[in-house]
Each structure stands twice: as C-alpha cells, then as structure tokens.
Amino acid sequence: MNKAKPIRVGIAGLGRSGWGIHARTLAEMSEQFQLVAVMDLDGARRAEGAEKFGCRTYEEFSALASDPNVEVVVVATPNFLHKSHVIEALKNGKHVICEKPFGADSSEADAMIEAAKAAGTLVAPFQNRRYEPHFLKVKDILESGILGEIHLIRMAWHGFKRRWDWQTLNEFGGGDLSNTGPHVIDHALQLFGATEPEVTVDLRNVLSSGDAEDHVKIVLKAPGAPLLDIELTSACAFPQERWLIMGSSGALRGTTTHLEWKWVNWEQYEPHSVEKKPTPNRAYNSEKLDWHSDSANVPDDFGATPHAFYTDFSRTLREGAPLTITPESVRRNIALIETCKRLASVQQGQFALHEDA
C-alpha cells in the first residue's frame, strides 16, 4: 500500500497560536503534514518562518489563500478576521482549520459553515482542549453513572494577571469570553447536554487595560440538566480547583492533574418514608454511609492536544473519517458566547457585541 502524501498546510498568522501551537505541532508531525507556506504582516516573523521551515512566505492573506500548493489553510489571525479569512480560503478551494473563536457570533459561524458546504471543502474549528485528559476522565466518570443524577457542575478557570495587549479590546473581538471562553464553554456544553439552557451572566473588567471583560460568571440551567456554574477570571488571587461536581450518589473534585471522587451504593440501603412525628430525642436524621472512593492522576498534557486534533483531521482528509469536532457542535459554543455578551450589554450597559462589517 502506498504511503499517503503529507498534507500541505499554510498558516495565516504567526503569533502565539500560529507559531507556538500550529507551526510547532506540524513540524513534529512531518510524516502527516508539510508546512509549505506562511503569511504574516510582520516581516521578521515571515523571515523566521522561512528560515525554520524553508517554506514560501506571504504578506497578504489572499496570496496564501490562492497558493495552488496549499491544501489546508490554518487561520490563526486576530479574532475579528476569522470569518473573512476562512470564507476567502474556502472559496479558493482550501480546507480550513479555524482557531478559536469560530466567529464573533452565530451568524459568522453560520456563514463559514455554509461557505464550506458551497465549496465542498471542510472547515474545522480548532477546539483542541476537547482532548484534554482531565476533561475526558471527568466525562467518562459522569457517563458511568457512578455519581448518580448530576445536579451541579462547577468549573473554575481562575488566575490573577494583568493584560494590556490587543486581546483586551472589544474592537478586536477581545476579552476572556472570546479568548479563553470557547474552551471552557465547549467543556461545559459537552457535559450539560443537548437542552438549550437558560443563561445568567455577569461580565466585568477588573485588571486589564482594555475595555473587554477579564472576569466572567455564567450560570446555565434547564429542566433535566445539571446546574452549571462557570467562573472564568483573570482576577482571582486564590485560585480554586477546576472541578466540583455533585451527584445524587456522590461527588467529584479536582484539578487538571488530579481527580478524586466518592460515592455510595444506595441499593445497599433501605428507603426511608417521610415521618411527620417528631424525631426521637430531638435528634436529626442520620445514618452511617459506606463510602467508596477512587482517584486518578492525569497528565497535564495540553501540548499533546494539538497532536490529537491534527491526527483526527488527517484521518478525515486522507481516510474519509468524519470530523471528530464538527463546526455545528462549535457553533453552539459561539451562540452561547453571543447570548452572554448580549445579556451583559443589556444588563450592564457595556461589553456590547462586536459587529464585524
């Protein structure tokens, strides 16, 4: 059997993500991918790309998008350019990997999805954190049913830092909700289920120099779904554990590297009927519970998640496997972010939804 040729990739944007994640990963996966072109407005970055990868360089996105030797364009340009760059690349017959966020709002996500259908090519949102080991372990534990019916999931993404770059500005689609939010919201909606949630949100600018939010509080609820409590903040000097999950049979807590959970087997206990008479000796109801417990250390391996994403993407292009992370599933994340910004704008008179011309 002939070995499949490497997928020829061009990267638009050689910033933190384009250079530090995509270019690095592609270089480490040279049997499956070949980086043949890069595009950036900064001449020094282009020169660095040419020196390191021996590839063609472009200053204009249109030149990269029309390069006949490029099969896949990675759009790692600033947030507010994602829609226009993705659609231009699709119209040039390219498959596209789009860095998060997958559009500024649901209409942009819809436009990219429709453009891919019209072109007969793929658009793949880069939601690499869906491969994180701690998230996959939490998902497995919940799906096992060992914790019973889940009634609360609390996710804390805490840090304490000041920022003053372009990603703190609303005019460039900045703010924690658009920058880190696509990751935490992707995890949240994967665990919440298919029901559309009722949303409560509070967005604040606490430490960053720009006008966009660096403190996010979101609560999701719906009939038959757990209450989902999200804190995403750059203004917490006492970071709490990432996970706290409560179920009718037990609970789970932990970080991105260590999880522990405990549960009771209610089948071992007789059910109690309500008693209206006073409790003997004025005591509270009590019973001795036989707790079971387990724990797991998981690798803090964020660096491996791009490899997992690109491995699946390679199978899709070369073997015809379905996309593991579909644009439709990520469109739901963007719609929730859009809802949060709209609600915050109405409630607080700020953080208005950025509209891209």
**pLDDT tens digits, one per residue of 237-294:** 999 999 999 999 999 999 999 999 999 999 999 999 998 898 888 888 888 999 999 9
Residue 355 — pLDDT band, cuts 50, 70, 90? very low
Q: What is the pLDDT of residue 155?
A: 98
Q: What average pLDDT does this structure show over 146-171?
A: 95
Q: How confident is the model at residue 348 (pLDDT cuts 50, 70, 90)?
A: low
User: How would you class 153 by CB atoms within 10 Å of its CB: exposed for 0-12, middle for 13-18, buried for 19 or more?
Assistant: buried
Mean residue pLDDT across the chain: 93
Helix (H) or strand (E) holding 162: none
Q: What is the SS3 string spanning 107-146?
A: HHHHHHHHHHHHHCCCEEECCHHHHCHHHHHHHHHHHHCC
pLDDT at 357 over 80: no
| Mean local confidence (pLDDT), 73-98 | 97
CA nearest 180: which of 221, 109, 128, 222?
A: 128
In tens, the pLDDT along 194-206 reads 999 999 999 999 9
Is the CB of residue 96 less than 8 Å from the CB of residue 126? no
pLDDT band at 352 (very low <50, low <70, confident <90, very high): very low
**Count of residues making up the chain:** 357
Would the pLDDT of 353 be above 70?
A: no
Backbone angles phi, psi at 212, to 5 degrees: -90, 165
**Residue 346 CB neighbour total at 10 angstroms:** 9
Torsion sign, CA atoms 75, 69, 315, 53:
negative
Tell me the C-alpha to C-alpha distance, in Å, between residue 15 and each of 10, 20, 184: 14, 7, 22
Which has the closest alpha carbon to 18: 84, 90, 71, 97?
A: 97
pLDDT per position as a tens digit, 134-148? 999 999 999 999 999
Give the pLDDT confidence score for residue 110 in this predicted structure.
97
* pLDDT tens-digit series, residues 98-124: 999 999 999 999 999 999 999 999 999
What's the pLDDT score for residue 339? 94
The per-residue pLDDT for range 38-54, each reduced to its tens digit, is 999 999 999 999 999 99
Residue 356 in this model has a pLDDT that exceeds 60 = no
Mean pLDDT of all residues in 340-352: 71
Share of residues in the chain with pLDDT > 90 (%): 86
Strands across the sheet containing 243-247 = 198-204, 215-221, 227-233, 150-158, 243-247, 250-254, 258-263, 292-297
CB atoms within 10 A of CB 335: 19
Q: What is the pLDDT of residue 173?
A: 85
- Positive or negative, the Cα torsion across 18, 23, 24, 25? positive
The beta strands (E) that lie in 126-214 are given as: 150-158, 198-204
Euclidean distance between CA atoms 91 and 77, whole angstroms: 18
pLDDT at 301: 76
CATH code of domain 131-160+184-303+335-348: 3.30.360.10
Give the residue, 353 or 289, on which the prediction is more confident.
Answer: 289
Biggest CA pair distance of the chain: 85
Q: 303 falls in which pLDDT band (50, 70, 90)?
A: confident
In the chain, where the domains are located: 131-160+184-303+335-348
